[in-house]
Amino acid sequence: MEARQGRDAAGGSMRSTTARPAMLLGRGRTDFGMNKPSALDIQQHLLSLIESIGGAPTEADMTRFMNIFYEGTAPATRTSWDVTHFTNSLSTSWRPVHRR
């Protein structure tokens, strides 16, 4: 891959673009010295976000909801990114599905 250097149309300098992807990937892989959250912390955070989006389930539905959560959703949520991805999907799809 050839790096482009020189001047752009406005007269500003065009920097090499070959080093940027590698630099960004390196930063994405580091944890910046922070401890990883435990699985229980991630699950509790996800449960609170689900409740804020769709409301708390009724007492009659609570057992079913928790069974589905701990058998299907909880094992798939291992990182904070998984929580963010799931809650973004849920917040987008909850209103149309809930109205039916």
pLDDT of residue 7: 57
> Is there a contact between 50 and 88 (Cβ–Cβ < 8 Å)?
no
Residues 87-100: tens digit of each pLDDT: 999 999 988 887 76
pLDDT of residue 65: 92
Instruction: Give CA–CA dist 11/24, Å, rounded.
Output: 27
Q: Which segments of the chain have a pLDDT < 50?
A: 1-2
Instruction: Give CA–CA dist 77/58, Å, rounded.
Output: 24
Instruction: Give CA–CA dist 75/30, Å, rounded.
Output: 24
pLDDT of residue 95: 82
pLDDT of residue 10: 59
pLDDT of residue 84: 92
Q: Domain ranges in the chain?
A: 39-99
pLDDT of residue 40: 92
pLDDT of residue 52: 93
